[in-house]
Amino acid sequence: MAVAEDYAERIASLNNIWMPHAGQMSIGKALFNDGKKRVFVQCGRKFGKSEIAIYCVLRWAFMNPGQECYYIGPYRKQTKRIAWRRLKRMIAQLPKKYIKRIGNNNDLEIEFENGSIIYLDGSDNAESDRGLSVDFLVYEEFKDFKPEYHVGMEPNLAIVDAPLLIIGTPPDHECQYTEIADSCKANVSGTDFWISLPSATNPHISHAYLERKQEELKEKGEHDVWMREYMGVFVKGGSGSIFPMLDKSKHVYDHDLLHRLHIRKDASKLQWYCVVDPGSATAFAGLIAAIDPYNRNIYLLDEVYESGADSTSTGIIWPKLQSKMLDVNPGVDPKGDTWQRVYDQAALWFMAEVYSQFQVSFYRTNKVDSNKEDGISLIKDLLLHKRLFISDRCENLYKEMEGYIKDSKGKVPKKNDHLIDSLRYLLWADSYEFIPISIPEKETSNRRGYSIHKDPTLDDDIW
């Protein structure tokens, strides 16, 4: 590491040529402050991924002597056209005393006076990069990599436990990308870092453009494209996903926290529902929910999901429902008028049995299959506008929604959707109508991912 004076001079030189915007700073912090070994950045288009990736490999080589640093794109030709040109433009702004050699368009190498070298290549050269000595490694647009490249390259990190920065938009299917992303997200080792950053994180992208693009893709039925390409979210099921906007980090809440913040203090004003989709031979599904009549937020607080004839009888199911109803709304009789109890009209047997055995009245839905798509569309709007709050107790509901995929004919399936149907019945029972709330324009920022001279609001000392 350079001595203090040299370090200060070098970091000032870097800050003079490029500074990150706020979203990009979290990446640099993970690498340079926190010492993370695998940093996985899942981001939307025009987030500024090339700029931050180039900066990181440049900073590592420039600030640390004797380093072998590699910047890898999907294809060597693409890397040369995009990253090589941008890297050379950055290098040209550094004091010449730091640069020993700038390679040509064939070798794609830059050597510094401190003995560090940056190499650029593509994943299409998998065989040539086996057995390298690596001190720092960047993968850009990893979803387009040849899978064999990482298989051959990863062992090269082991000698010095070199950091790996992976950055790019998510794919439309499960693959090597999603496997490594999930591993980094789990962070079992404690040395991994994963983050998802939408295009809008870049303060210089037009929010008007993003709004038009979102509406355009929604109209085309391609909301999964919006989520992947602009929100940086992997959509399970790809283009066939029915709820591509579903995001556990945005829609699923810790039950106790949800109850404390939204339910406990307002329990008396909420409208309470127990909605069931009975099935004696297949599965019995039910949702315990509350709806705020003022802001129209929907709170899904618990579920019952049982399969097999032995566990779906009315004598077993109602006590479970009753227990969960008492848990979320203590002191209120589950049989009383406070609760609206709704069942699928096709299961008349359930209504008769539950009244006969427990003297509990359930009221039927007016189930019409042709309206299923309308119910699905309404659920999508609720997710998009964050009106649907799902307790982490509703694990089976989340699994159904996450795995809800159109069939080969592009139709909504009629299987594995018992709790989704219960949610549709809830909306019907409430005569729910969605009225969007206009979202104010985001506050603009002066932070730029370019020169510090064009960004006077930034402090000199970052990371």
**Edge-to-edge order in the sheet of strand 339-343:** 252-253, 388-391, 298-307, 283-291, 271-277, 339-343, 363-364
User: Are 310 and 288 within 8 A, CB to CB?
Assistant: no
Its CATH class, for the domain covering 4-203, is alpha beta
Cα-based angle 361, 418, 255 (whole degrees, multiple of 5): 80
Cα-based angle 14, 162, 50 (whole degrees, multiple of 5): 45
Query: What does each of the 463 residues of the chain score in pLDDT, given as a tens digit?
Result: 447 788 899 999 999 988 899 889 999 999 999 999 999 999 999 999 999 999 999 999 999 999 999 999 999 999 999 899 999 999 999 999 999 999 988 889 999 999 999 999 999 988 877 778 999 999 999 999 999 999 999 999 999 999 999 999 999 888 999 999 999 999 999 999 999 999 999 998 999 999 999 989 877 767 788 889 999 988 876 667 888 888 888 899 999 999 999 999 889 999 999 999 987 567 899 999 999 999 999 999 999 999 877 788 899 999 999 999 999 999 999 999 999 999 988 888 999 999 999 999 999 887 554 478 888 989 999 998 899 999 999 999 999 998 888 776 777 777 889 999 999 999 999 999 887 654 444 444 444 444 434 443 334 444 5
Nearest-angstrom CA–CA distance, 380 and 373? 11
Q: How far is CA 373 from CA 223, 242, 411, in A?
A: 16, 10, 10
pTM over 0.95: no
Nearest-angstrom CA–CA distance, 362 and 354? 8
Residue of 346, 328, 457 lying closest to 393 (CA atoms): 328
Nearest-angstrom CA–CA distance, 9 and 388? 52
Q: Which helix (H) or strand (E) holds 100?
A: strand 99-102
Phi, psi for 168 (deg, rounded to 5): 160, 170
pLDDT digits (tens, 9 = 90+) for 154-177: 999 999 999 999 999 999 888 999
pLDDT digits (tens, 9 = 90+) for 407-425: 767 777 778 899 999 999 9
Query: Which residues, other chains included, contact 81 with Cβ-Cβ below 8 Å and sequence gap of 6+?
Result: none
Could you tell me the sign of the dihedral formed by the alpha carbons of 413, 417, 423, 429, in that order? Answer: positive
Phi, psi for 253 (deg, rounded to 5): -125, 150
Concatenating the DSSP letter of every residue in 341-357 gives EEE-TT-HHHHHHHHHH
Nearest-angstrom CA–CA distance, 37 and 184? 10
Nearest-angstrom CA–CA distance, 150 and 173? 18
Query: Which residues, other chains included, contact 27 with Cβ-Cβ below 8 Å and sequence gap of 6+?
Result: 20, 39, 41, 52, 56, 165, 167, 195
CATH fold for the domain made of 251-429: Nucleotidyltransferase; domain 5 (3.30.420)
Phi, psi for 431 (deg, rounded to 5): 50, 45
Residue with tokens 């979290």: 26
Concatenating the DSSP letter of every residue in 344-408 gives -TT-HHHHHHHHHHH----EE----GGGHHHHHHHHHHHHHTT-EEEETT-HHHHHHHHT-B--T
Reduce the DSSP state of residue 299 to 3 states and report it: strand
CATH 3.40.50.300 residue spans of the chain: 4-203
Cα-based angle 185, 189, 192 (whole degrees, multiple of 5): 45
Q: Do the strands 363-364 and 68-73 form a parallel or antiparallel pair, or are they unpaired?
A: unpaired
Bridge partners for 71 per DSSP: 120, 138
Other Cβ atoms less than 10 A from the Cβ of 169: the count is 24
Nearest-angstrom CA–CA distance, 129 and 152? 8
User: Are 84 and 71 within 8 A, CB to CB?
Assistant: no
CATH 3.30.420.280 residue spans of the chain: 251-429
Radius of gyration of the chain (CA): 27
Cα-based angle 392, 295, 243 (whole degrees, multiple of 5): 45
Q: Give the total residue count for the chain.
A: 463
